[in-house]
Amino acid sequence: MHRILAAVLAASACASALQAQTIPLSKADPVLTLDGALMAAGAASPAIAAARSGVKAAQAQRSVAGVRPNPSLDMMAENVAGTGIYNGLRSTETTLGLSIPLELGNKRGARVAVANAQLDRATLNAAMMQADLRLRVTQAYNDAAAAERRLTNAREQVGIANAVLRGAKVRVSAGRASPLEAQRADVARLNAQGAAERAERSASVAMGNLVRLIDRDAPTLDVAWFNRIEMTGPSLPVSGQDTLAGVAAQADLTTATAQVRLARSQRVPTVTLGAAARRLEASNDTTAVFSLSVPLPLFNNGRASLDLASAQRQQADAQRRMALLDVEQAMASANAEAENAATTARNAAGPTLAVAQEAARIARIGYREGKFGQLDLLEAERTLADTRAAAIDALAAYHDAKARLERLTAPVPTDAKDAR
């Protein structure tokens, strides 16, 4: 009877192993790598298109800021349709002239400075949008790969539970175990099937999220990427000022400083000069007319706008310091999480998993030979499943922390560095 039971369990195990090995090999679909997913997402993402449009708009705004104010063509007719000698058009005085606003206080230069700062910020926004998209796609790819691994693990547990149930039924039929043993194995099988169904739905949702991001099918993912752990942790930059968040905060401060300069220049009145020729209808003579227009700052002298810009600059400076603290803290946390997850993954996928596999193998042999009870076998299988799940979770946590760290330390555009 021992030989029959051993043969049944061995055949079941071999069938499960062969099925797990042949299914991936039968797939002829190309493997979608992370780089391929990132390239596809970059081509399909509306966020990237919006960021590029923002840069174009900032460039156009820079051109607008450098344009000088237009002159005005003035025409005026006096002494028209009056009484007496001014009746009709006999005493009409027609004036035709040209007036030009003169922007004092370097208003044009201040506008250009603000536009340049906004253009640098738009360029940074585009780089940050690309880094955000890379993080989002990497996390979606990581979730899909981890879900596939969890699904594979769950299906293996279903196969093991079925084999244990068959073995328990053989033992009960032979009178070597109570019916409770078969019922306990059946409960374990039902739990394994439920876990597999949940894992399948989770894998479908994760793959659907990835497909929506990249706008293409993703039949097979790169399993080698998910299993790969770098020997050394990601390197941290010297300071948070070298990150996109730090440079963006500095760009906001630069824009606020330029706004203060613009508000200060607006306090200087814009003078309008005019030159005209006046024709006298009565004598048919022509005279020259010159004009000078200076606004009087009686109700609005620009002080309120300057105070507003100064307060906003102080706010931008405080936000810059806060951003540097936050990004440095986030980098340290992400780096520690990546290293901790890498250590956990190496242990769970290496020595710990080997020990759990050996314990499960011994428990199966002992159960077949009647040396171990069913509870010992179920406990060993549960420990092996938990160890595999812990390894998958640790790998997923490692890739997620690594992706977040790469987002925080994404390279700054060269033109943005020059602007600093």
Q: CA 156 to CA 13: how far, in whole Å?
A: 10
Element spanning 248, H or E: helix 244-266
* pLDDT of the residue at 238: 54
Q: Which residues of 84-110 are buried (b: 16+ CB within 10 A; e: fewer)?
A: eeeeeeebbbbbebebebebebebeeb
Instruction: Decide if 416 contacts 127 (C-beta within 8 A).
Output: yes
- Determine which of 130-134, 183-187, 315-319 has the lowest per-residue pLDDT on average: 183-187
The model's pLDDT over 21-80, given as tens digits with 9 standing for 90+, comes to 333 434 446 888 999 999 988 888 888 899 999 999 999 999 999 999 999 999 988 877
**Residue, of 119 and 373, whose pLDDT is higher:** 119
The model's pLDDT over 161-173, given as tens digits with 9 standing for 90+, comes to 888 888 878 878 8
Given CATH 1.20.1600.10, say whether it is the number of domain 2-68+103-267+302-419: yes
Mean pLDDT score, 81-103:
79
Chain mean pLDDT for the chain: 84
Q: CA 392 to CA 267: how far, in whole Å?
A: 64
* pLDDT of the residue at 11: 35
* Encoded tokens for 275: 């030159």
Mean pLDDT score, 137-158:
93
The model's pLDDT over 206-220, given as tens digits with 9 standing for 90+, comes to 999 999 999 888 778
| Token pair 């769950």: residue | 154
Residues 6+ apart with CB under 8 A from 21: none
What does the CA dihedral 258, 263, 269, 275 come to, rounded to 10 degrees?
50
* pLDDT of the residue at 353: 81
pLDDT of 121 > 90? The answer is: yes
* pLDDT of the residue at 54: 94
pLDDT classification of 417: cutoffs 50, 70, 90: low
* pLDDT of the residue at 311: 97
pLDDT of 93 > 60? The answer is: yes
Q: CA 360 to CA 371: how far, in whole Å?
A: 14
pLDDT classification of 249: cutoffs 50, 70, 90: very high
Q: CA 220 to CA 150: how far, in whole Å?
A: 15
Q: CA 46 to CA 96: how far, in whole Å?
A: 53
In percent, how much of the chain has pLDDT > 70? 87
* pLDDT of the residue at 415: 65
Q: CA 222 to CA 148: how far, in whole Å?
A: 11
Instruction: Decide if 119 contacts 59 (C-beta within 8 A).
Output: yes
Backbone φ/ψ region at 79: left (φ over 0), alpha (ψ -120 to 50), beta: left
| Token pair 């053989």: residue | 170
The model's pLDDT over 220-237, given as tens digits with 9 standing for 90+, comes to 888 889 988 875 544 555
The three-state secondary structure class of 278 is strand
- For 39-60, the three-class secondary structure string (H helix, E strand, C coil) is HHHHHHCHHHHHHHHHHHHHHH
Q: CA 79 to CA 88: how far, in whole Å?
A: 9
Across the strands, what pairs with 76? 95
* pLDDT of the residue at 132: 93
What does the CA dihedral 318, 322, 324, 329 come to, rounded to 10 degrees?
170
**Residue, of 377 and 19, whose pLDDT is higher:** 377
In the chain, where are the structural domains located?
A: 2-68+103-267+302-419
Backbone φ/ψ region at 301: left (φ over 0), alpha (ψ -120 to 50), beta: alpha
Distances in whole angstroms, Cα of residue 381 to Cα of each of 17, 211, 332, 374 = 16, 34, 38, 11
* pLDDT of the residue at 27: 43
pLDDT classification of 361: cutoffs 50, 70, 90: confident
CA end-to-end span of the chain: 81
Instruction: Decide if 146 contacts 226 (C-beta within 8 A).
Output: yes
- Determine which of 4-8, 217-221, 360-364 has the lowest per-residue pLDDT on average: 4-8
pLDDT classification of 377: cutoffs 50, 70, 90: confident
